[in-house]
Amino acid sequence: IKNIAVLTSGGDAPGMNACIRAVVRTGIYNGINMFGVLQGYQGLINNNIIPMDARSVSNIIHLGGTILKTARCLEFKTDEGMEIAYQNLKARDIDGLIVIGGDGTFTGARNFSNKYNIRVMGIPGTIDNDLYGSDFTLGYDTAINTVIEAIDKIRDTADSHDRLFFIEVMGRDSGCIALRSAVASGAEAVLLPERHTSIDELVSQLASGASTKKSSSIVIVSEGHKAGGAYDIAKQVKEQFNHYDTKVTILGHLQRGGSPSSFDRILGSRLGFAAVNEMLQGTSKAMVGLRGNEIKTTGIDEALSRHSFKLENDLLEMTKVLSI
Ligand code: F6P
């Protein structure tokens, strides 16, 4: 293998830059020519591919976002799109592709590597933590830190006014951010896509807090929750339980930005280093991930198939006890 390209695709995540830096420098250290693809799969199709050297990734380890830019690309889902992308790689003799992203990125990588003879390695980079085979995905830790910083501030005002707040957090169909944020912020309740909580159940939990002199409460709603977003849930709760003045906050895209935590910088560095080394040893169609503080590889198919098993059930049980 002589030439490797790296791209970031899908939603950006803090720690991606630390990871790009590790990929580029590990490749160069091993005598490989390194390339960066701008704007993910869209850049592969548009031939937006640039050579990278060790200095192209200087002073980026602490930055959120991705210097390679990112996009959600529909064209790469078509045979025509993939063919153009392949020809652009072939024209530069690029025989290895490293993709950093979430489940959409991995689906693209799987389809591409099934069709063409090119080594592909995936690195789990998404705040959602929704890939099987890595206990943590890149950006998840920073996103939780950002969420709890925001919730801490909301708690100050919720407490001052004796209010009930519904706070919606990201995660698409994964409740990981919501659950960990609930534990770390001491939320009174959390609604997750993976577990059904009825409005009756939620109301009885809030009423029991009110009856034991809780003057304010915080409910975290994961965006993928089946009964609706934070506004819908707040409305349904209010119809049955009007003890508190109620407010809603949607945290939105602020959860995706910011300087990566030490955890995400180190994880990004470890995963980038490992992805290149695995590829140089002949591994392909696989993802590198962190399992029990060791770097392990998982087949891309497996990584895509089982994320709903990731929710930490013990944390869910614990939030109910610790928020009485
Ligand atoms: O996958 C990361 C994520 O932030 C999800 O949590 C969220 O559902 C989605 O991306 C939002 O996507 P976009 O930035 O394209 O609106």
Beta bridge partners of 247: 165
pLDDT score of 113: 96
- pLDDT per residue of the chain (324 residues) written in tens, 0 to 9: 999 999 999 999 999 999 999 999 999 999 999 999 999 999 999 999 999 999 999 999 999 999 999 999 999 999 999 999 999 999 999 999 999 999 999 999 999 999 999 999 999 999 999 999 999 999 999 999 999 999 999 999 999 999 999 999 999 999 999 999 999 999 999 999 999 899 999 999 999 999 999 999 999 999 989 889 999 999 999 999 999 999 999 999 999 999 999 999 999 999 999 999 999 999 999 999 999 999 999 999 999 887 666 789 899 999 999 999
* Rounded Cα distance, 301 and 110, in Å: 7
Tokens of 40: 């993910």
pLDDT reported for residue 308: 62
Give residue 185's Cα distance to chain centre: 20
Centroid of ligand 1 to alpha carbon of 95 (angstroms) = 30
Query: Which ligand 1 atom is the nearest neighbour of the CA of 170?
Result: 6
Checking ipTM against 0.95, whether it exceeds it is yes
Other beta carbons within 10 Å of 318: 14
Q: Which two tokens stand for residue 86?
A: 């392949």
Centroid of ligand 1 to alpha carbon of 13 (angstroms): 10
Give whole-number Cα distances, 175 to 69, 111, 198, 322, 323, in Å: 26, 27, 16, 19, 18
pLDDT value, residue 310: 79
Query: How do the residues of the chain divide into helix, strand and coil, expressed in percent and rounded to 5?
Result: 45, 20, 35
Phi and psi at residue 94, in whole multiples of 5°?
-80, 120
Question: How confident is the model at residue 307, as a pLDDT?
Answer: 62
| 277 alpha carbon – ligand 1 mean position (Å) | 30
Cα end-to-end distance, the chain, whole Å: 58
From 53, 79, 128, 245, active-site residue: 128
Annotated binding site for ATP, which residues? Answer: 11, 72-73, 102-105
Q: Hey, what are 296's tokens? A: 């392990």
- Is-catalytic flag, 53? no
Q: How remote is the C-alpha of 160 from its chain's centroid?
A: 33
Structure tokens at 113: 């590597």
Ligand 1 site residues, Cβ closer than 6 angstroms = 11, 72, 102, 126-128, 170-172, 223, 256
Contact residues for 160 (Cβ-Cβ < 8 A; gap 6+): none
Binding-site residues from annotation: 11, 21-25, 72-73, 102-105, 126-128, 155, 163, 170-172, 186-188, 214-216, 223, 247, 253-256
What pLDDT does residue 311 have?
86
Distance of CA 60 to CAs 20, 102, 186, 268, Å?
Answer: 9, 21, 33, 12
